[in-house]
């Protein structure tokens, strides 16, 4: 019975991956996401004829699906620590969903595709911030769920601000970045507090990878741009971000089950 239960993270995450990618394919074939309004056109790659407006920026999102599946495999095969198998599975599914959601924008340049892209970003950053807060405050899963929902709703509200934002361009990107910075600060405080310490090397690797991805994201907005090339800075951003998401999970899974439990 235990062996069957342990494969559930892989089965659930695989089902989410197949379902989300399948829905994306149907949406593209049926033109469900609406007309091309130029959403994401600022990410250099020229719009082309065919199923994908921006092929490199679209297909590079497969990295998130692969990363999420790798997370699910590790959840299934490792001993649970502070992060339970249930929360690990949720995180795996959130990472998987980043792929089709971001691809929806780059494949169509539609308004709805852009909203899906931002929502998926809020989901992963909200998870990171809420999970770090839950452990810092020594709260349980219900508190995590409430904080997670509140953060995602708050990001959606901030994203309604229509004016340009320096450097990050959009208020939704600012909300995403703020949650990630919050998560990093809380993870550092957790590590410094002692007790059941995580393996900080995974956290440093995740942070370095994310900073590298952000650097490429900024450079690709300010000069590195060949609209008709398959080598796109934004595509590299996707791949590095997917790697960072996996490394972040390894930080979570390295924390032993000891002192960071609800009191």
Measured CA to CA, the distance from residue 86 to residue 24 in angstroms comes to: 26
Q: Residue 207: which residues within 8 A CB-CB, separation 6 or more?
A: 184, 244
Residue 6 annotated as binding site: no
Residue with tokens 């469900």: 32
Task: Report the pLDDT value the prediction gives residue 169, as an integer from 0 to 100.
Answer: 66
pLDDT at 168: 57
- Continuous H helices in 31-170: 55-59, 62-77, 85-108, 111-136, 141-158
CB contact at 8 A, 119 and 36: no
Question: How buried is residue 191: exposed, middle or buried, by Cβ count under 10 Å (0-12/13-18/19+)?
Answer: middle
The pLDDT value recorded for residue 80 is 74
Residue 167's pLDDT is 57
Q: Tell me if 234 is assigned to a ligand binding site.
A: yes
Global pTM reads 0.90
**93-to-86, 97, 120, 212, 262 alpha-carbon distances in Å:** 11, 6, 11, 24, 25
Whole-angstrom Cα distance, residue 9 to residue 70? 11
Q: How far apart are the C-alpha atoms of 48 and 94, rounded to whole Å?
A: 29
Instruction: Report residue 111 as tokens.
Output: 């308004």
pLDDT of residue 165: 64
- In contact, 234 and 45? CB cutoff 8 Å: yes
SS3 state at 20? helix
In the chain, how many H helices and how many E strands? 10, 0
Q: How many angstroms separate the CA atoms of 117 and 104, rounded?
A: 7
Q: What does the angle CA 11 – CA 82 – CA 141 come to, to the nearest 5 degrees?
A: 75
| Domain locations in the chain as residue ranges | 2-253
Q: How far is CA 105 from its chain centroid?
A: 15
- Compute mean pLDDT per 10 residues along the chain, 263 residues long, and list them: 68 97 95 90 86 94 98 90 88 97 95 92 96 92 95 89 66 86 92 76 94 89 83 93 96 73 40
């Amino acid at each position: 019975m235990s062996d069957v239960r342990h494969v559930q993270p892989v089965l659930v995450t695989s089902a989410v991956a197949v379902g989300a990618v399948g829905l994306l394919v149907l949406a593209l074939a049926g033109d469900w996401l609406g007309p091309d309004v130029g959403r994401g056109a600022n990410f250099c790659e020229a719009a082309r004829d065919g199923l994908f407006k921006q092929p490199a920026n679209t297909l590079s999102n497969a990295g998130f699906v692969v990363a999420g599946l790798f997370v699910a495999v590790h959840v299934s095969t490792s001993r649970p620590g502070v992060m339970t198998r249930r929360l690990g599975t949720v995180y795996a599914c959130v990472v998987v969903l980043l792929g089709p959601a971001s691809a929806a924008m780059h494949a169509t340049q539609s308004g709805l595709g852009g909203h899906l892209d931002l929502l998926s970003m809020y989901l992963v950053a909200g998870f990171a911030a809420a999970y770090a807060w839950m452990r810092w405050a020594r709260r349980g899963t219900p508190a995590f769920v409430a904080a997670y929902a509140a953060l995602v709703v708050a990001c959606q509200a901030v994203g309604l601000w229509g004016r340009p934002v320096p450097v990050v361009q959009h208020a939704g990107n600012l909300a995403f970045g703020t949650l990630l910075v919050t998560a990093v600060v809380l993870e550092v405080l957790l590590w410094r507090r002692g007790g059941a310490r995580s393996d900080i090397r995974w956290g440093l690797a995740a942070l370095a990878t994310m900073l590298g991805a952000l650097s490429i994201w900024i450079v690709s907005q300010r000069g590195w741009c060949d609209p008709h090339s398959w080598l796109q800075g934004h595509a590299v951003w996707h791949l590095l971000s997917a790697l960072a998401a996996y490394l972040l999970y390894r930080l979570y899974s390295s924390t032993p089950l000891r002192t960071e439990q609800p009191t």
